[in-house]
Amino acid sequence: MRVLLTNDDGVAANGLATLARALVDWTKEAPANVVRDVLIVAPNRNFSGMSSAVGDVFERPTVGYRRHRIDGAESFVAYGLDASPALCVILGALGSFNFRPDLVVSGINAGANVGRSVLHSGTIGAVLTGAQFGLSGLAVSVQWGENVHYDTAASLAVRVLSELEEAPTPTLLNLNVPNLTREQLRGIRRGRISSAGVVAAAGPLAGGDDLGEEGTLPLRLGAATPRLGDVRDEAEDDDGALLAAGFASLTALRGPHEDVDGGAQQLLERAMELLGRELRQAD
């Protein structure tokens, strides 16, 4: 099992280092007939909120990189790239480092990735990108707070990873962990994606309806990330509510795929019929 480890907080982030050290033990605990290997390919700076963006690759024929050393995980080769998490995964999946991964692990992110943040998170964008290459993935995030307990999230992540390596590909999981010690954690439950947003309105715009030619728009974070906001309107099995209640949340995800819903297919057929008729008339 060959694992590509990445994140969106940057190669020097504490969360990535903690997870890398946990993976060192995970490789050593491999069954006798299993070989586990890890390569670290992560952005050289913070790329939070980048989702699956790759940037303007049309104007840049090369991507800069630099070798890094992760304390406690010196046995793993680590690179910091001038690239988003998604582009790090693409380059890794294509074999740029003479390493063909079977699975992508992304994190540990500093801040929960629950609710609508699954769409915008660079942490999750990395595993969604890996799925396009047939790779399974695990995104790992921990609730933000004082003295963040990355170790709790790392201990859960390696246990989930041991199960994931036996799962059919591509299987994608999103693990969110409250900022608690292992002893304080109430358990782990299946979490449903809530309606919590990343950005919330901050009140009326300055200037009312007349915005003028230039100015600023108010912006504040919503309940989803990095600090968990008011989740009282969530169901008890929603991912944000689970974290607030002291449970880790594990959610299965799917990447982009064709919509085969009956209503969508009927709309598609009507549109094709209409456009086909217009094209024939034009001829």
pLDDT, tens digit, 9 for 90 and up, residues 21-65: 999 999 999 988 889 999 999 999 999 989 999 988 888 889 999
pLDDT recorded at residue 223: 62
pLDDT recorded at residue 245: 93
pLDDT digits (tens, 9 = 90+) for 196-207: 766 666 555 555
Write the secondary structure of the chain as one string of H (helix), E (strand) and C (coil): CEEEEECCCCCCCHHHHHHHHHHHHHHHCCCCCCCCEEEEEEECCCCCCCCCCCCCHHHCCCCCEEEECCCCCCCCEEEEECCCHHHHHHHHHCCCCCCCCCEEEEEEEECCCCCCHHHHCHHHHHHHHHHCCCCEEEEEEECCCCCCCHHHHHHHHHHHHHHHCCCCCCCEEEEEECCCCCCCCCEEEECECCCCCCEECCCCCCCCCCCCCCCCCCCEECCCCCCCCCCCCCCCCEHHHHHHCCEEEEEEECCCCCCCCHHHHHHHHHHHHHHHHHHHHHC
The two beta strands, 37-43 and 2-6, are parallel
Spans of the chain, pLDDT less than 50: none
62 in a domain, yes or no? yes
Indicate which CATH number applies to the domain containing 63: 3.40.1210.10
pTM of this structure: 0.90
108 in a domain, yes or no? yes
- Quote the domain boundaries for residue 104: 2-192+231-253
Question: For the chain, what is the domain count?
Answer: 1
243 in a domain, yes or no? yes
266 in a domain, yes or no? no
pLDDT recorded at residue 59: 85
pLDDT recorded at residue 52: 92
265 φ/ψ angles, rounded to the nearest 5 degrees:
-65, -40
pLDDT recorded at residue 68: 97
270 in a domain, yes or no? no
Judge contact between 160 and 250, C-beta under 8 A. Answer: yes
187 in a domain, yes or no? yes
199 in a domain, yes or no? no
pLDDT recorded at residue 75: 96
pLDDT recorded at residue 105: 98
Please state, in angstroms and rounded to a whole number, the distance separating the CA atoms of residues 46 and 113: 16
pLDDT recorded at residue 130: 97
pLDDT recorded at residue 282: 76
pLDDT recorded at residue 207: 53
pLDDT recorded at residue 95: 94
278 in a domain, yes or no? no
